[in-house]
Every structure is written in C-alpha cells, then in structure tokens.
Structure 1
C-alpha cells in the first residue's frame, strides 16, 4: 500500500459514503484512479466492508486510548505505514521530543484492545510505547 491507498482508507474510515469525485479532489488523483484503487483494496481484502456507525455507536466506543510510540533509527515511514493500516488507529500524529508518534486508538473491548497493542508492539522499528486509556471526554471537536 502506498500513500494514496492510505489516504483513501483514512477518508473512507471517516466517511464510507464520500463520493469518488470528492476523494479524487482531496487526493489529487483522477476519479478513475481512485475508483480502481478502491476496487483493488476491496478485491485484495484490505477493505472488508463498508458500514454505517450510528451516533450511539460513535459516542459509546468501547476502549479509546492514546499510544505514544518511539521509533528506532530511520524507520519512521515504515512504522507509520503499518500503523495507518490498522483500523483501530483513528488518527496518527508525528511529534517531537521523546515520542515519534502519537496514535489515537479505538477498539470494541479490552480483549480486542490488548490484541491491538500486541500487534503494534510487534511492528518492526518500534522501540517502546506508552499507553493511556481515555476515560471521559470533557470536550471534543467534531
């Protein structure tokens, strides 16, 4: 998967009904290229389904967390590609200081969340992580 695939997946996670023309304008790719990429992502199983989340499901997420990630050497781009491919990663931010990335995660329950953390820690190039589970949102920007 390249950067265009990652951009498309990110946009579709946010809104699975976004028109191909909007995706094309957002990414700078042609409509035909975007449509072909989405078809390929569906065919190879990267996109397993298009779905709807109701307002209740959005507000009642099982487990949400922030994971700070330190990367070894010059592997940041490869690590970022792997993290962006995980559906539980809702946002991925590069940062300065001790941590190279901050990932916002959302999972259905603690058992699934534990498995997601295990998968993240197994990514080649990740040196260490620190995880903080989000308990209560006091202000959100939607």
Structure 2
C-alpha cells in the first residue's frame, strides 16, 4: 500500500499525540474529519496501523531483565515449539529466523535466577535441541517507527514532485 504525505503526517500525530481525538487531529492537519477518518480506516485495513492500545513496560511490571534467547529446534518441530512458546508469559515476542538458530525470543524476567528458570523451561520443551542466551545490558534505541514513517513520507513527497525538465514540451 502506498503511504502518501498526508498519511505520514497522520501517522506522526498518532505516534506523538496518541491520546488526541480524531476531531483534534483533523483540526491540526487542516483536513475534514471525514477525510481523516477514511484515511485512518484505510491505514488500519491495510495493516499499517496494527493497534491503538497503550505500550507497557515489562520493567515497571517487575520484570527489568531482558534477554534474547535463541532456540535451535529439531527439524519438523518448529510449529509445535512456536505454539508452546505462547504458553510462557515471560516470552513477549518470538520469531522464526535464519542463521544461528531457528527461533529468536525476547524474554523478560524479574532477576537472573528467574531468567534461568525460564530458560530451563524452554530447554525442556519437546523439540528444543539447545538455547543460547544474550542478556541485554542497556537499551540503546527504543522501539520506534517514526524515523521509518518520515523516510516513507519523504519518498512519497519526492514521487509526487515533478522531476527536472518535467512539463517542458
């Protein structure tokens, strides 16, 4: 789906001012409320906007330890292991990957001992051959999409502008 300059401005507002009303967004952007609502509906339908809930902090919920656990899985058991990961509440994300492992999980824990308990639970899952854990020390770049949105918006703006020599006949 093509995201244009107005879509980019809408997405920026949603990221920077998530608790603002649709009416206020329309006022800020200088567009009709119906236009804004139609754009929001399209962005949701096309999967650009995937949620509107709050972003929660595992650390503030008592789980300040963050680790990335790579799992090597017996061939043919990826789906089963992936499904089993959903039953582990400390796993906040999991991806199948290429490279050194088959699955990459983002795991949170209360402390190092709790992290070890979670890893032991993962090792015991049928189909898991081995794990490798990388503990995060400090977040250097928080989860973000605004720079990507801005890049897409700049590219959309460039597509909409006539190039050199355009209009000459």
Report the TM-score when normalising by structure 1. 0.57
- The 1:138/1:132 distance shift into structure 2, 3 A limit, reads same
**How far did residue 88 of structure 1 move?**
0.4
In 1, Cα distance between equivalents of 2:74 and 2:113: 28
**How far did residue 62 of structure 1 move?**
2.2
Report the TM-score when normalising by structure 2. 0.49
What is aligned with 2:90? Answer: 88
Contact 2:59/2:65 (8 A) holds in 1: no
DSSP 3-state at the match of 2:60: helix
Aligned positions, number: 92
Unmatched segments (≥5 aa) in structure 2: 1-43, 46-55, 145-169
Two-structure CA RMSD over aligned residues (Å): 2.6
In 2, Cα distance between equivalents of 1:68 and 1:109: 19
In 2, Cα distance between equivalents of 1:130 and 1:55: 22
Unmatched segments (≥5 aa) in structure 1: 1-24, 27-52
DSSP 3-state at the match of 1:57: coil
* Moved segments of 4+, more than 3 Å: 53-56
Greater strand fraction, Structure 1 or Structure 2: 1
